[in-house]
């Protein structure tokens, strides 16, 4: 790339920024003279969250990350933000089987995961765990030609044209705006996407007036006995990788191994077809389901486990044939009870929390 070409690109960017001068900027009343350390608001029934010593949370860092999360400058065409694929009202998912709203317009090979309780996601991000932390994960969608399609040098240039951003980055990270600090700020905000105030949580914490119906309690019992191998603990995920039997043949993958699951990262044949366990929290809001969004309804998911499990060398042992039938045996009554319980995991506080919402619409 010639120096003249680079110069021309930046001149064009400057012109573009001038045409966007009417874009509503964040009006802020925060004191930008000092940092205020912040602790995650961990629900009482949750395990402790581990702080990241390389990116400690601050009130100002979280707010900066929130601004960036909703800012369309992060995309190469200035039309997409992180929130374009992660909508708060559906638990930061996108309700799309395979999205094609990226800069290239191409259909993505994997379903967009919901962003829920990421502070506890310590075994890797993406469906195959290909990124080790939230900071490194953000570079993937930011720079992907089929997602946000952003050139990081151009991103830094654009953000530097905003005086408010200049002040914030200087305060939070003690330096000028750079891409490493951009992803750190995004990670700080995303670690605050904590969902733990559903009807179920209030019942477990024995809050006043909180209770589950008999059917919901039956569903909880069924989930405990049949689903906890993967959807473990109060997070309703073991944060690990499993082959849940949706496929049996992984030999003809034309998407750079994306359908081979964890094997694509580990090159361990024991990981073939294994994908990250998603949380069951807010699961009624986050359809469709599976890494490729193949199931449109939870009823389809339950029927898969009841009768559709395919056996391969890495299928999870809990799904292997027992008493002549593979999968998880579920009656119609069982399914209805499980669905009733899963509804109790919807957290309306989470999807309506103003601290997580679009700051440009406040």
State how far the Cα of 152 lies from the Cα of 177, in Å rounded to an integer: 11
First to last CA, the chain: 42
Residue 4's pLDDT band, with cuts at 50, 70 and 90, is very low
pLDDT tens per residue, range 23-80? 445 445 445 568 999 999 999 999 999 889 999 999 999 999 999 999 999 999 999 9
Residue 131's pLDDT band, with cuts at 50, 70 and 90, is very high
- Token couple for 277: 């366990």
Class (C level, CATH) for 199-346: mainly alpha
Average pLDDT over residues 191-217: 98
State how far the Cα of 127 lies from the Cα of 275, in Å rounded to an integer: 5
- Residue 151, pLDDT > 70, answer yes
Whether pTM exceeds 0.85: yes
Largest CA-CA distance found in the chain, in angstroms, rounded: 72
∠ CA 186-192-197, nearest 5°, is 150
State how far the Cα of 309 lies from the Cα of 316, in Å rounded to an integer: 10
Average pLDDT over residues 306-333: 88
Domains 23-195+350-361 and 199-346 share a fold: yes
> Residue 283's closest CA among 116, 56, 134?
116
Question: The domain 23-195+350-361 is classified under which CATH number: 2.40.30.10, 1.10.760.10, 1.10.20.140, 3.40.640.10?
Answer: 1.10.760.10
Q: What are the sequence ranges of the domains in the chain?
A: 23-195+350-361, 199-346
Residue 323's pLDDT band, with cuts at 50, 70 and 90, is low
- Residue 9, pLDDT > 70, answer no
- Residue 291, pLDDT > 70, answer yes
Q: Would you state the pLDDT for residue 361?
A: 85
Residue 325's pLDDT band, with cuts at 50, 70 and 90, is confident
């Amino acid at each position: 790339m010639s120096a003249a070409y680079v110069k021309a690109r930046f001149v064009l960017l400057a012109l573009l920024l001038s045409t966007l001068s009417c874009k509503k900027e964040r009006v802020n009343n925060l004191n930008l003279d000092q940092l205020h350390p912040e602790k995650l608001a961990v629900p009482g029934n949750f395990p402790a969250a581990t702080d990241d010593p390389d990116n400690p949370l601050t009130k100002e860092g979280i707010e900066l990350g929130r601004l960036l999360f909703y800012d369309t400058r992060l995309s190469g065409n200035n039309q997409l933000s992180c929130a374009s694929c992660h909508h708060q009202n559906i638990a930061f998912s996108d309700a799309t089987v395979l999205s094609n709203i990226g800069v290239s317009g191409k259909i993505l090979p994997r379903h967009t995961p919901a962003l829920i309780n990421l502070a506890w996601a310590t075994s890797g991000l993406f469906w195959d765990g290909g990124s080790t932390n939230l900071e490194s994960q953000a570079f993937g969608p930011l720079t992907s030609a089929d997602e946000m399609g952003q050139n990081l040098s151009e991103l830094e240039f654009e953000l530097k044209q905003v005086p408010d951003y200049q002040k914030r980055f200087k305060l939070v990270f003690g330096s000028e705006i750079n891409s490493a600090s951009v992803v750190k700020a995004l990670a700080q905000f995303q670690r605050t996407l904590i969902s733990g105030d559903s009807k179920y949580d209030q019942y477990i914490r024995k809050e006043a007036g909180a209770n589950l119906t008999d059917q919901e309690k039956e569903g909880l019992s069924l989930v405990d006995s049949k689903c906890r191998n993967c959807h473990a603990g109060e997070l309703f995920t073991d944060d690990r990788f499993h082959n849940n039997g949706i496929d049996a043949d992984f030999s003809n993958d034309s998407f750079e191994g994306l359908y081979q699951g964890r094997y694509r990262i580990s090159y361990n044949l024991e990981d073939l077809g294994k994908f990250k366990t998603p949380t069951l929290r807010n699961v009624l809001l986050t359809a469709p389901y599976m890494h490729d969004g193949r199931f449109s309804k939870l009823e389809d998911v339950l029927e898969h486990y009841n009768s559709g499990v395919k056996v391969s060398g890495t299928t999870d042992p809990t799904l292997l044939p027992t008493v002549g039938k593979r999968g998880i045996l579920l009656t119609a009554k069982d399914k209805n009870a499980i669905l009733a319980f899963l509804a109790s995991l919807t957290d309306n506080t989470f999807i309506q929390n103003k601290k997580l919402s679009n700051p440009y619409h406040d």
